[in-house]
Chain A
Amino acid sequence: MADFKATYKLKTNPFRLTPATNPDELVWAGFKDVKEKFEKRIERSIRIPNSTLVLNWGEYGSGKTHAARFFNKKDVLQALADKAGKAIPYSAVISLPKGKEPIYSIYISIIDKLNIEELRNTFSDIVGDLNAYIDSIGSNLHIQSVLKAVFNSDIQHLDIKKYLYGNMNATELKSLNASGILRSLKDDTDYSSILAGLFSCLTYNKQKFSCVILWIDEFEDIAVLNNSNIDKTNNFIREILDTVPNNLLLFLNLTQSALISVEDLGQYVYESVKSRIKERISFDFPNPDIFKEYLRELIAIFREGNDQNPYFPFEESVINSLIIELGSVSLRRFNESLSLLIELSDMDNKCPINMEVYEEYKDDIIWDKG
């Protein structure tokens, strides 16, 4: 194999299917309309105190998970916050749990990502105001005490994390009694209340975080849950939006599948949730022009040096043939084929990737026609 960068004038293979470990490689190319919709929606939540539910809808491989990962990046969110002149949003991406206790699993996923030490540092100058604010939200004294303890540096941060996970025994729990915490968290109501309270605290006066952005990926898996867990999931979304009336932006990524189609959406997403959806962002299959624009931009981001051909190492005729051959398919399918084509060419030292090379590998990179 020749030196990849020098031969193909690319930093790395831009079409890899595994999520990039280096955030710099997690990029957005093309699809300007979709990107703008997300930017506008996030910017709006950064500026305005308002909680919103957005449904991201599209077929498998159309880029919903990628959008979640991209807009979860700190630099992307910071740029949007700077534009609005406000604080950065607090953002998290989780997958819809398929287990027996979906609300507990959602709660654990969020607690897993919660860096209490960092939060305490961030909020140290306004902790007095925050405690007064906590007293004003809800009437559950136990939940209020837990929320105050999260931000209280007098309590060991690992102790409170242990408590939030439900791993404290009765003796250990006694150490929190003085802070007004007299019992463990025990049911979905507790978990929902803690999350709602936490989101409200994080976005208090939009001072430290302008809003909370929560992406629930693979929401279509609601169709594999039993009736009782479908109920619980719907109730959780409704409750969290109602109890965090300001500053929560909830994205649900929903793949159209055999289990969940447009017709039976109502069976899984109840009216009480559907009525709260403010926007649907659709991820459609790209047409040839949109795909080629995406390709040019993606290659430009990964370009090492210069080349007059914006598709280099591919000749444009190869791209055109691939588009015709695959037909109307998801972006993932295009990426899969191009990733294999570039890898196979690299293994056999073939560059540029012209029609002759394409014809040689065609049967290896197209597994069924769209």
Chain B
Amino acid sequence: MGNVCCLLDACTVINLIHIDEDDFLLKKIKSLELKKSKPIEILIDELVFKEIQVNVNDRLKSGLSKFSDSSRIGGIRKEIDQKLSFFRGKKNRSAEMISELGNEYYEQIKNQVGYTKKINGELCSTAYALYLSRLDEKKVFFYTDDYPAKDFFSGYFEFQQIGQIKDTVDFLILIYWLDDDFNKSQLNRVLSELYSQYAIEVALLKERLVKFHNEKVNGAFIKSKKEIAFKLKDLINKLQKLELQNIQSYFEYFEVNKTKCKELFEIIKQYYSVFQIESNNQSETLLEKIKRTNRLIEAQRIYKWNDLIAS
């Protein structure tokens, strides 16, 4: 096992696939895995990999104007498939865990953490992380950009001393300082690409919601669904101002009320990643973190081994 055990969530892998140009990141990860000193080991839970397969192409179909030329989507899809095969080999040990601990292991962890949602990638990864930490007597880092899940499971990681829950920004910085040839402008570029991935989703969601509002929210709509109309206006306003705190509650509201306005929930569902980028009112969103990190990198050096011995 590597020095740093990196367990990746679906959103992190999907982000890595979409921000990577010319397999730059994949090559970096691969070379670190092959290094004699084994600085990292990348692992993915089985169910998480299935979630990746289901959702990895969502960003290609969600845009109004993002991928305007459909003939080019085929090429992008092919590239994604190639990158996906790189991560396919990482889902290597959770089957082994189930054979040792049995299928009820997930239920056991679910009850212990008090998770009310159905068993999903984040819960399975938490269970897997606990198993790996005990089996290999190591700290495990679980990388996810699902901030509400991060918030929920962090306490459990701490109490059980499994390790930590981090996000894609942290993962990119880890790869950066481990790799001597990964320079600051390249780090800046991948962070800017990560920012763009989420900011575009926010912009596209806003575009779709404004269109829906302008076309559908009229007097008749207000008479029958006033609360939905006002909630929609609120959400558009929040996206406009980029006030993403508590945004998850809007997803939950439209999900609960989906029978009243199915069309609206269908739009919102397509942009689920937007509702994952904040955890609570007090902490920063993923977008804020990327901006802050970019500023910090300019002001303060992140040391690599060679920087340390040179200084």
Contact = CB atoms under 8 A, between A and B. Distances in A.
22 contacts: A18-B215, A98-B66, A98-B200, A98-B203, A99-B65, A99-B67, A100-B67, A108-B69, A224-B200, A226-B193, A226-B195, A226-B196, A227-B189, A228-B192, A257-B240, A258-B240, A340-B219, A343-B220, A364-B222, A364-B223, A367-B233, A368-B234
Contacts of A95: 65
B202 A224 contact: yes
A259 B189 contact: no
A60 interface: yes
A97 interface: yes
Contacts of A60: 240
A224 B203 contact: yes
B183 to A, nearest CB: 14
A228 B63 contact: no
Interface string B227-239: 0011001100100
Interface in A79-104: 95, 97-101, 104
A98 B192 contact: no
B32 interface: no
Interface residues of A, number: 34
Contacts of B296: none
Summarize B's interface: helix, strand, loop or mixed. helix
A253 to B, nearest CB: 14
Contacts of B202: 224
Given A105-B68, A228-B189, A368-B234, A98 B204 contact: yes
B65 A223 contact: no
Interface of B: 63, 65-69, 71-72, 76, 188-189, 192-193, 195-196, 199-200, 202-204, 213-215, 218-220, 222-223, 226, 229-230, 233-234, 237, 240-243
A17 interface: yes
A95 B71 CA distance: 20
A343 B196 contact: no
A273 interface: no
B219 A347 contact: yes
Contacts, number: 83
Q: Which of B189, B220, B229, B240 has the most CB of A within 10 A?
A: B240
A105 B195 contact: no
**7 nearest A-B pairs in the assembled complex, by CB-CB distance:** A343-B219, A258-B242, A224-B199, A226-B196, A17-B214, A227-B192, A344-B219
Contact of A105 (B65, B226, B230): B65
Q: Which of B193, B204, B222 has the most CB of A within 10 A?
A: B222
A221 B203 contact: yes
A315 interface: no
A138 B110 CA distance: 69
Given A257-B241, A258-B241, A344-B219, A367 B230 contact: yes
A346 interface: yes
A288 B3 CA distance: 67
A225 B195 CA distance: 8
Contacts of A340: 218-219, 222
Contacts of B226: 364
A367 B232 CA distance: 10
A217 to B, nearest CB: 11
Nearest to B236: A60
Contacts of A367: 229-230, 233-234
A367 B240 CA distance: 16
A359 B204 CA distance: 36
Contacts of A108: 68-69
Given A17-B214, A98-B63, A258-B241, A226 B230 contact: no
Interface string A323-347: 0000000000000000110011011
